[in-house]
Amino acid sequence: MAVKVYKIYDSRASETVLATYDNLVFAQSPSGKSVGTYEVSVAPDGIDKAVLFAEKKVIPKLDFGINQKDFDSELEKLCGENFSKSGSAVSLALSILNLKISAYKKKKQVYELYNKNPKKEDLPYLLSNTIGGGLHTQNKMPIQEILGTSKQNDFSKRVKDGIQFYKNVEKHLTDKKIFFGKNDEGAIAFKGDYKESLSIATKSKLENFCVGVDFASTSYYKNGNYFFGNKKMNERKYLKFIEDIIEKYNLFYAEDPVMENSFGASAELVDKFGKDKIICGDDLFVTNVERLKEGIKNKSANGIIIKPNQIGCLSKAKEVVDLAKSKGITPVISHRSGETCDTTIAQLAVGWKIPYLKESLMNGERISKINDLTMIYNDLRK
């Protein structure tokens, strides 16, 4: 069996890793621009050295196409605790490759390895990044993402609604003669502030459709204060500010509304809104089971972002998913700003029965996940 790793480039033209088995099975790692402090490093000494390390020290000692937990356990031993020697670009690519080889040998799709009785109802709702700001966009909006999701029961209608929402936003901007482009994730980028952006999003909604926000609050937090545009707020004032935004724009979803260590402040938002809204942690948890346990103890969130590259391998990511579900916390599997055409997260959404996939409905590396889910949908409804 010939397993090889290569340096490639992601959608932001940043270096990442592709792993292949006999040029028949391929696995690629993404990378983020908005990165939590507690994430596994992508490549501690750079991608070139990570690839060389994998070729010399890791791949020759691994068996591929085996039980995923066993594989990932051995992988971490070779790559260092928390994949400190290799970084997640190498470790995740190899972890995904093992899973895909297992599927290939069994003549199954990846999702079928986990979900033994898949139904079309297992397809996720789509949290689609539609208007961009923050670190992904050079504009005046500190909010990183304004997201839309269709609550239609039928997956194909969810996709159509998400695309129509995107087009409605474009039309509003065109009618107002506002110039716009696209950011790293394919979201619409223009020079409006958060009020104008949320107003346009609200006006662009369809029937049975909801709007959410990724605040990515750590990106504008410093020394005990939040610097939101021209506002400087301590935590108490900032919490009231966030509450007002959630209520005014009837947001159903708020991701990272406070900075990455504010378990207590996040819990206050869950206490106020958690019955009918998702208060979701990304930087708060970084797909880490120990940080999730802290969040469970504090009741800090009722939603959690799942990004396998944050923790370095698939088995550790699944452990987080399983724990979250057991405690009534909604998992949301997510793309990264630096993406590839690898569709594993789409397969895992169905395989692990994750109710939401966070993505964008524009750009090839994003739409590849939607196309994969569309094929699964067509297979399952027969």
DSSP reduced 3-state for 65: coil
How far is it, in rounded angstroms, from Cα 165 to Cα 130?
Answer: 8
Q: What is the pTM of this model?
A: 0.96
How far is it, in rounded angstroms, from Cα 351 to Cα 357?
Answer: 12
What pLDDT, on a 0 to 100 scale, did the predictor assign at position 138? 74
Q: Which CATH number fits domain 120-380: 3.20.20.120, 3.90.180.10, 3.65.10.10, 3.10.350.10?
A: 3.20.20.120
Active site residue ranges: 185, 307
Q: Where in the chain is the domain with CATH 3.30.390.10?
A: 3-113
Q: What's domain 3-113's architecture?
A: 2-Layer Sandwich (3.30)
How far is it, in rounded angstroms, from Cα 249 to Cα 255?
Answer: 15
Sequence-ordered alpha helix ranges (H) in the chain: 47-53, 68-79, 88-105, 110-114, 155-175, 194-204, 235-248, 263-273, 289-298, 308-311, 314-326, 344-351, 364-380
Q: Where in the chain is the domain with CATH 3.20.20.120?
A: 120-380
DSSP reduced 3-state for 204: helix
Tens-digit pLDDT string for the chain (382 aa): 699 999 999 999 999 999 999 999 999 999 877 677 899 999 999 999 999 999 999 999 999 999 999 999 999 999 999 999 999 999 999 999 999 999 999 999 999 999 999 999 999 999 999 999 988 777 779 999 999 999 999 999 999 999 999 999 999 999 999 999 999 899 999 999 999 999 999 999 999 999 999 999 999 999 999 999 899 999 999 999 999 999 999 999 999 999 999 999 999 999 999 999 999 999 999 999 999 999 999 999 999 999 999 999 999 999 999 999 999 999 999 999 999 999 999 999 999 999 999 999 999 999 999 999 999 999 998 7
Asked if 221 contacts 211 with a C-beta cutoff of 8 angstroms, the reply is: no
